[in-house]
Amino acid sequence: MTVNIQENKTDFSNLVKNHPCFDSEAHIKCGRIHLPVSPVCNIQCKFCKRCFNRFENRPGVSSTILTPAKALRVVDRAVELCPELTVVGIAGPGDTLATDHAIKTFELVHEKYPDMINCLSTNGLLLKYKAERIAGAGVKTVTVTVNAVDADVLVKICSGIVLFGNQISGKAAALQLIISQLAGIKEITRLGVVVKVNTVLIPGVNDHNIGDIARVTRGAGASLINIIPLIPQGEMSDITSPSCAELNSARDQAEKHLPVFRHCKHCRADACGVPGLDNDLSDVLYELHCDDTFSHG
């Protein structure tokens, strides 16, 4: 697929005003829905714990997995329930690019709702390779989770990756992930898609590298960064979540290089509603489905 870059250029100011994860005013005025269509992940972060339930309000959790066709029907219902809806996002519960489910879903949504802002969140491992298809599916914003730009730091956060069927661990995995993320950001922004970076702040691990993350990802083409506090779980259950002072300090360091979004809600992979109003509608939209774990690809 060939993407017309000029036609695909996003009006950044208009996008920001209508994206609740990019702008503080939009955060309390505009709605978003997350469609849980991505079942597997191709990296293993030490703080990550993916599961099915209805009670945890955090990334990596949903009540079900949808097919692309069923996801479109959920959007139809969401438009009725939440007239403020401006963004259709896919943020898991696995990685959106580990399978083709997310791209196929966006193709269906874009055909029926061309004015919606399609927003994809990814770890960025396969972003460069799927950038053309992402842009061609009408995606206007991509969020890439970048937790370090130094392999010696990232190896403490990410245990390993699976790239084209090859399992890689240790520092080699960390280095490959960083290279892939930066190359992916460069390529997707070249195609006119706006990139926001998410960074999980982990005290004692990456807290002294936040400025570097913002500086390097800005150089690759990112427009915005969101610093979010660690939720202690998994292999990092013994690390204390950052204090407000630590979080503000990290955001100040990042803001020397990129604008910082400061209103993140740690949303589930099946969230729906206006995030700043806490009016989640996911129970109305999704059927309960329980399972223990996801495959890591």
Helices (H) and strands (E) counted in the chain, each on its own, are 10, 13
Note the pLDDT of residue 139: 95
Note the pLDDT of residue 12: 65
Q: How confident is the model at residue 297 (pLDDT cuts 50, 70, 90)?
A: very low
What mean pLDDT is reported for the chain? 84
Q: DSSP character for 293?
A: -
Report, as an integer, the average pLDDT of 200-212.
Answer: 96
Note the pLDDT of residue 293: 41
Whether residue 59 has pLDDT greater than 70: no
Window from 132-146, 241-255, 264-278 with minimum mean pLDDT: 264-278
Examine residue 297 and state whether it is found in any structural domain, yes or no.
Answer: no
- C-alpha–C-alpha distance, residues 160 and 139, integer Å: 28
Q: Who has greater pLDDT, 293 or 203?
A: 203
Examine residue 43 and state whether it is found in any structural domain, yes or no.
Answer: yes
Examine residue 290 and state whether it is found in any structural domain, yes or no.
Answer: no
Note the pLDDT of residue 291: 42
Examine residue 254 and state whether it is found in any structural domain, yes or no.
Answer: yes
Whether residue 250 has pLDDT greater than 50: yes
Burial of 292 (0-12, 13-18, 19+ CB in 10 A): exposed
Note the pLDDT of residue 83: 78
The closest of 259, 139, 165, 253 to 201, measured between CA atoms, is 253
Report, as an integer, the average pLDDT of 229-249.
Answer: 92
Report, as an integer, the average pLDDT of 236-259.
Answer: 94
pLDDT digits (tens, 9 = 90+) for 76-128: 988 888 778 888 989 878 899 999 999 999 999 999 999 999 999 999 999 99
Residue 296 CA to its chain's centroid (Å): 17
- C-alpha–C-alpha distance, residues 2 and 132, integer Å: 7
Examine residue 108 and state whether it is found in any structural domain, yes or no.
Answer: yes
Split into its structural domains, the chain has a count of 1
Examine residue 239 and state whether it is found in any structural domain, yes or no.
Answer: yes
Name the phi and psi angles at 151, rounded to 5: -60, -30
Whether residue 220 has pLDDT greater than 60: yes
Whether residue 266 has pLDDT greater than 90: no
The residue range of the domain holding 146 is 5-285
Bridge-partner residues for 117, per DSSP? 87
Note the pLDDT of residue 65: 83
Whether residue 71 has pLDDT greater than 80: yes
- CATH number, domain containing residue 137: 3.20.20.70
Residue in the structure block whose two tokens are 């990042």:
254
The two three-digit tokens of residue 16, written as one number: 């920001």
Report, as an integer, the average pLDDT of 245-265.
Answer: 88
Note the pLDDT of residue 25: 63
The closest of 193, 53, 25, 73 to 121, measured between CA atoms, is 193
Q: Who has greater pLDDT, 226 or 32?
A: 226
Note the pLDDT of residue 272: 72
Note the pLDDT of residue 33: 85
Examine residue 291 and state whether it is found in any structural domain, yes or no.
Answer: no
Q: Who has greater pLDDT, 55 or 111?
A: 111
Examine residue 295 and state whether it is found in any structural domain, yes or no.
Answer: no
pLDDT digits (tens, 9 = 90+) for 26-44: 666 677 788 989 888 999 9
